Amino acid sequence: MTALHLDDLKQYSDVLRARDGREIRVRFVEPRDREELQNYIRSLSAGSRYSRFLGALSELPKSELERFLHVGEADRFTVVATMLVDGFETIVGEARYAFHADTSSVEFGLSIDDRWQGLGIGKALLNNLECRAASLGAERMFGDTLRSNATMIGLARKSGYAFTASPGDWKLVRFAKEIHVEPQDIPCASWRLAAVSRSAAMSSLAV
Ligand SMILES: CC(C)(COP(=O)(O)OP(=O)(O)OC[C@H]1O[C@@H](n2cnc3c(N)ncnc32)[C@H](O)[C@@H]1OP(=O)(O)O)[C@@H](O)C(=O)NCCC(=O)NCCS
């Protein structure tokens, strides 16, 4: 179990920058996002949806949408990246990550709206996911993508991930990265704070 206070999701909100300086907010998904999140998934190009979910779907099946909305359940988390478009907070990306305590690892997948790809948002979101993973105590990040997904492979390579075959599926490649980082060295302020208070809480339990 994580030590996040999930009754107040809003405190875990970060501001990132796209390459052109545009402000992107990353926050946990909330119940109010249900319809917009589904519309976001529907609006992705068929190719982006296939790459993200490793199969053909036009929208999230109802049960999967519910899982996406239940932040923290089974140590799985969904975040949305939002931007102000014409004055409205608009979802321009999403990511889902799962903390596997047995292997101290975080598995993740992400997508960026086709209209906003290539602007450095994926890279910024990935950096943010690494902070989130480190604050959970993870020592490794990994994900699987299609061997044909040059963009994700390029992003992972540029972010220092190494590649191996994905277990059980020759069409996929696994990218993984060690992220041994002490709580006080986590490069995102909010997650550094969360990690420092988590490790303080754990050491007070140990005495
Ligand atoms: C993969 C994805 C998340 C990348 O997000 P993005 O915002 O477009 O990526 P960025 O603009 O941050 O690019 C980061 C790096 O990725 C690499 N990259 C981007 N586009 C690329 C392309 N067409 N070919 C190869 N590498 C590419 C580059 O290294 C780039 O860094 P650089 O621009 O400094 O050279 C996005 O394209 C996407 O949502 N694709 C569909 C869903 C998907 O494939 N998800 C991954 C499943 S795990």
pLDDT in tens, 10-23: 778 899 999 999 99
CA of 201 to the centre of ligand 1 (A): 38
111-156 confidence digits (pLDDT tens):
999 999 999 999 999 999 999 999 999 999 999 999 999 999 999 9
Q: Report, as an integer, the average pLDDT of 150-172.
A: 97
Q: Which of 20, 125, 136, 22 is nearest to 83 (CA)?
A: 22
Residue 2 has pLDDT above 90, yes or no: no
Residues 6+ apart with CB under 8 A from 150: none
CA atoms 116, 121, 126, 128: torsion sign: negative
CA-closest residue to ligand 1 atom 41: 48
Q: Which residues line ligand 1 (CB under 6 A)?
A: 48, 51-52, 109-112, 117-123, 143, 145, 149-152, 154-155, 158
Burial of 86 (0-12, 13-18, 19+ CB in 10 A): exposed
CATH of domain 9-201: 3.40.630.30
Task: Give, for ligand 1, the residue of 151, 158, 159 to mutate: max count of ligand atoms closer than 8 Å to Cβ.
Answer: 151
Q: Are strands 172-178 and 76-85 parallel, antiparallel or unpaired?
A: unpaired
What are the two backbone dihedrals, phi and then psi, of residue 65, each rounded to the nearest 5 degrees?
A: -60, -45
Residue with tokens 């997508």: 111
Q: Binning pLDDT at 50, 70 and 90, where does residue 196 land?
A: confident
